[in-house]
Chains A and B, each alone.
Chain A
């Protein structure tokens, strides 16, 4: 099931959605992804037969209730976990392990390494993964941190930062490495509402400027509609695809507009069609 909103002003939404061949080659592609967890009780199926593709500059949001396996999918995309069956391809090449071409922003505040200053946290992947020299890494790190509004916190250690600043630093770190695709696992879920709102806006501004490719996991419907150019809805136990939506025309300017709210309501109705009993 694919839904395109009428009158969408963006080119990719205007193209007939069903014709995949007309789209540019995908950056990241998941093919019939099935993920199992092995626990003491036995094998538990977390995700079943999920397909999607992310093209250059696209922002795909994986959205679903807890237990739909959206974070598991992200772990597989990052290469931390192997799928039970199916495959993930990065620019046509099979993903077999983690790598700096897919940098992850986690939800947890402790993702910044506490023994490095904010600047060194951002420069660290550039040194070890990007093989940059100390000075170049430092300059690029500072540039990225200024971009996310942390110019004053360059020399601070992570434990002195607020939650929102930590997530900003993590985003700067991911941006500085210039990965082929950014993976974000509910990066704003542990923030207070005001901070979350500012960070969403700033992330969108950065996305407009850099046109990065993003896979974003969230359980918040309004956040999904706002951030994503495309939504991928998942049902829980096990995670299965319910629907996909193009939401590239619903951004910051449309927040709170009738079209935006209608989309949120529609997604909500679809996710909780059975009254939320599957959650």
Chain B
């Protein structure tokens, strides 16, 4: 580049440079309102408040607390049931049974899936069983479970395990099969084998599928349990949420029925928040899931 060329070039640069001073900075901070609106919890709260408002207005117009109590009536019944009735104990009883069935089913599924990834024939068996039982609603097994195991926790556990096992096994199997070949080779390259290989490579690599399987399985289990409890509760002593709803309907305490339903929903939302927290801290942070 000659001297003259260089001079030209410098002038061109200067010409391009000059309007830049007037330009706004590249990073513009959004306004306070926009930043608050970006918080997911804030948006959710606004949506919930809107739904509550619609509920309150609709129920007030209806003006028939026996069929459709307002939000405020339901809220009062909720507080009353929590403090004076056995709503809290029912909820805890339901959650305890749910966790028991959930853990048994997940453990069972992991054993089956491990065997399936090791032995092709077991995989064939598992895929066939999953195809058969996944579409079968768990609640449809309840009559048979009652016949076999009687009116008690064992019947509920059988139904719960059925609700959780197949969808989770399917998700886990898919997850393990989708682990990229390169990551498998990397693990083997370090001399990892057996349980260490599964724990340090396969499970974290399959975590997006495993988490989504856990989420789906949880939703199936929760629905199934509440439905099953409507029939006979958890046991004669501690009822469970489904039983709480059923009893109060018999006594035409509709506001308490609503309080029971709201509790079912709240627990569902709470678990959703927990899953979301775990996902944000793991698969989303690692860029394995958007």
* Chain A residues with a Cβ under 8 A of chain B: 78, 80, 97-100, 102-104, 106, 108, 110-111, 113-115, 124-125, 128-129, 157-160
Contact = CB atoms under 8 A, between A and B. Distances in A.
A164 B288 CA distance: 20
Contact of B286 (A108, A115, A128): A115
B186 A111 contact: yes
Interface string B193-222: 000100011001101000000000000000
Given A108-B182, A110-B182, A157-B286, A115 B204 contact: yes
A100 B287 contact: no
A80 B188 contact: yes
A114 B282 CA distance: 10
Contacts of A125: 189-190
Nearest to A114: B286
B205 A113 contact: yes
Contacts of A104: 185-186, 189
B185 A80 contact: yes
Interface of B: 180, 182-183, 185-186, 188-192, 196, 200-201, 204-205, 207, 282, 285-288
Contacts of A111: 182-183, 186
Q: Chain A CB within 10 Å — which of B196, B200, B204, B286 has the most?
A: B286
Nearest to A124: B190
A80 B189 CA distance: 8
B191 A129 contact: yes
Contacts of A80: 185, 188-189
B284 to A, nearest CB: 10
13 contacts: A78-B185, A98-B189, A100-B190, A100-B191, A111-B183, A113-B186, A115-B207, A115-B288, A128-B200, A157-B287, A158-B287, A159-B286, A160-B287
A110 B188 CA distance: 15
A78 to B, nearest CB: 6
A29 to B, nearest CB: 20
B189 A78 contact: yes
Nearest to B196: A128
The 9 closest A-B pairs by CB, nearest first: A159-B287, A108-B182, A115-B204, A129-B190, A98-B188, A114-B286, A111-B182, A125-B190, A115-B286
Contacts of A129: 190-191
Nearest to B200: A128
Looking at chain B's contact residues, is the secondary structure mostly helix, strand, loop, or mixed? Answer: helix
A99 B191 contact: yes
A239 B287 CA distance: 39
Contacts of A157: 285-287
B180 to A, nearest CB: 5
B287 A110 contact: no
B183 A113 contact: yes
Contacts of A102: 189
Contacts of B192: 128
Contacts of A110: 180, 182-183
B204 A113 contact: yes
Nearest to B188: A98
Contacts of B205: 113-115
Contacts of B182: 106, 108, 110-111
Contacts of B185: 78, 80, 98, 104, 106
Q: Chain B CB within 10 Å — which of A99, A115, A124, A129 has the most?
A: A115
Contacts of B189: 78, 80, 98-100, 102-104, 125
A108 B288 contact: no
B128 to A, nearest CB: 23
Given A99-B189, A114-B287, 14 more contacts: A78-B189, A98-B189, A106-B186, A110-B180, A111-B182, A111-B186, A113-B183, A113-B205, A114-B205, A115-B204, A128-B190, A128-B191, A129-B190, A159-B287
A103 B201 CA distance: 17
Nearest to B193: A97
A111 B189 CA distance: 11
B277 to A, nearest CB: 17
A73 B229 CA distance: 62
Contacts of A158: 287
A114 B196 contact: no
B68 to A, nearest CB: 49
Contacts of A159: 286-288
B289 to A, nearest CB: 10
Nearest to B282: A115
Nearest to A129: B190
Contacts of A113: 183, 186, 201, 204-205
A141 B24 CA distance: 41
